[in-house]
Structure formats: structure tokens, C-alpha cells
Copies of this chain bind each other. A is one copy, B any other.
């Protein structure tokens, strides 16, 4: 039996002990956003530091202005190094009444089809996923006394609450944390049978606009038509932002947005994504974006403009014939490829100002700014990891895009200059951030084995 097979056998043999450890960490109420749980966050960081030390890492829970950050090194091997990022904090559990059991008393449930799930806050996001990696390391150390490659583990405690202390920490400790590749286990599989590596993340440009017309609310009977109504001004701006074909009309918006590279396009086509089922699951059926684009393109490789919130005037019960003084909107642009968030913001502000009547005012508030990220899927770390996943799951792993933004990915790229491989074993139905969060026991077991294989592959 070669080392890898021995490690995989060890993972299988010790699966119950691994589950016990996961349950131990799930019991810790590490809700980072609520100051009442600060001590539990520290407990969780200390738990991880001790656990990693027990495997043979040199591990510390380091203080920050917020919750501690766990840093652990195992440099017993040579070769290309990896930095694994995860987070030990969890979302709040409100509304508690919707949980079927204590969210911090994890348990195994058997579903109607006989499959088992781990229920509890953090089971999937991100404690379960983090432990798949740590358990893989433990097995390698148990069997061979070493890891296949040098590994640093970095566990943040504020991912669910803004994460403001991570970027300066990365910057201050760049020399210590730098590695050849970043690894993150905080994403989904393509489906329950198909492993995936996410290689594109969209950027974001968030703006709030506040339009003021008259200096007070007015009676629409007395002032209707004569006085500018900021609701109308705002609606006109929003309507003008997209044309009849669903394209964003900001001048220069599509600068830096190429057509999808042919190889990636073919790979995405081969996913046989079911757009009807995707929209059907949320009660819709008509793709609302750019005409002539697939739903996958709309959500992965094309930029968007979405009004996340808008309001003006009377919104309570009944009716009030008021012309409001103020109307406002929160608008976000998801960016792709080489779009420049600062240029998009400037173009948006010019666009809005050009539509503000001479006697009205507009105020802008910036909410977030980040470029899109994409990683080179042809590089060895990505192809080796893909092959390792394929070997474990018996089905070709796929490179996928993703509509959202994972800010830490950009931070790792920026502060440490490294590419990041995002893979994970969560599923769409894991109910992360919601009551009754779960992680499939199958995801946990095969996740541990997947990381054992990836560590091995990266060493080759």
C-alpha cells in the first residue's frame, strides 16, 4: 500500500473520531458579530490552536483588535507550499424558533433516502469544511509523520462580521504567510456528485444615491406636477440604467469585458446547466439579463446592475398624498474580468448627475469597491487538484465561475500575491446562514479524502 492509500484508509478508519472532533468545535458558540460571544470566539480559536499543535503544527491563536486569528505551520516537508484559509466564526442563529434543535448541539440525522447529515450552526459554513482539511493533515501526519508539502493554516474569526482585521494582519505578516498557492474550502460542489473548483469571482461596485427635491414633504394636491418628485427622478435614472436588451447603458461600462475564452465556454457548456430548474426553484422562468446570453454567463461572466433597495415617500398602510422631499436607492454593479470599479463608479455618478433636475440635489455614498478575480486554470496547481478531485469522486471535477464575491480571495491575492484554489464540498441546500444548517456526512468524509489527495497531488 502506498502512502496515499494508507492515508485514505486511515481517514476511513478514524471517521468517527473525526466526527467527534467536529462536534466539539460545533458546540462552541463562536458568533463573531455579537460581542456577547467574544469569549466563545476566543475559546474556538484556542481549540483550533491546540488541535493543530496536537497534530504537530506550531500553532498560535494570535490577538487582533477583534477576535483572534489562528496561525499554524507545518514545514516538515519541502516543495511548493500552501496557505489554507478558513474561518472558525459562525452566523447568528436567529430566528431560534425555526431551529428544530439546539443549533450548538450538533447531531446526525438520517434522511428519508437513508443519507445522513450533520446538523448545527457552522456544520457547513465553515467549521465542517475547515475540518475536512485539518483531518486530512492529521491522517498524513499519523501515517507518514509529515505532510506532503509545507502547509500554513490561517483561521479567521471575523469572516461573518466584516473581517476588517484580516487585511492588516495579512499585510503585517506577509513574509510569514506567503505560500505558492492559497487553498480555501468555503464553496459548493457543482452538484452532489460533481466536485468543482471555482476559478472566477466577480468584483463589486456599490453605490447609494440620495436625491433631494423640495426642502420638505409636500401635499401632492397643492404641488403635484409643479414640484419635482424625487421618486420620478429616481425611477427615470434606474430605468435608464438598462436598455431594452438588458445591457447596462453606462458609457464605457463594458470596457474590459471580453467574450468568454473558448476553452472555458466549452467547459461551461459541458456542465449542462439547467437554467429552467435554476429559475424554477425561485418561482421564475424568464432570464432577465442581457438578451442572447445564457443564465450561466449572466451570473458568472457578465457584469450586472441591480437595485438592491430603493424608497421614497409614504410606504405604510393606506395612502398618503405626499410628494416626498427625498428618495434614495442602493445600487450594485457586479464586475467581471478587467472592469475597473473606480471607472464604473465615476461613470455612474456622471450618469446620475446628468439626470438630476437643476433645482434638485444628489448625494453619493460609496459602498464597497473590488475588482473581479480569475485564476489560471491551466496552471499546475489547478490541474493537479482537479485530477485529485476527479479521482476521489469518480466524476470529472469542473472549473466553475460564481456570481458572488469572496473578499478574502482578493485580499490573499493582493497582500500575498498568490493565486487561490477554491474548492469545497458544501451543497446548495446546506441552509448556510439559515436555521437548521447542515453538512452532508458524505461531504465531510469525502472532503477529508479529497484534501488528502490534493495535498499529495500538489507535491508531485
Contact = CB atoms under 8 A, between A and B. Distances in A.
A297 to B, nearest CB: 9
Given A216-B282, A308-B321, A309-B315, A298 B225 contact: yes
A307 B368 CA distance: 30
Copies in the complex: 2
B404 A286 contact: no
Contacts of A314: 308-309, 330
A405 interface: yes
A314 B295 CA distance: 25
Contact of A310 (B204, B226, B315): B315
A218 B283 CA distance: 11
A403 B221 contact: yes
A249 B235 CA distance: 15
Interface string A187-217: 0000000000000001010101000011110
A334 B226 CA distance: 13
Interface residues of A, number: 80
A105 to B, nearest CB: 28
A214 B283 contact: yes
Q: Pick the most buried of A224, A229, A358: most chain B CB atoms within 10 A of its CB.
A: A224
A20 interface: no
17 contacts: A215-B282, A222-B299, A224-B289, A225-B246, A225-B287, A231-B307, A232-B242, A235-B239, A236-B238, A306-B323, A308-B320, A309-B312, A309-B324, A310-B313, A310-B315, A311-B311, A315-B330
Interface of A: 202, 204, 206, 208, 213-216, 218-229, 231-232, 234-236, 238-240, 242, 246, 275, 278-279, 282-290, 295, 298-299, 302, 304, 306-315, 318-324, 327-330, 332, 334, 357-360, 367-368, 402-405
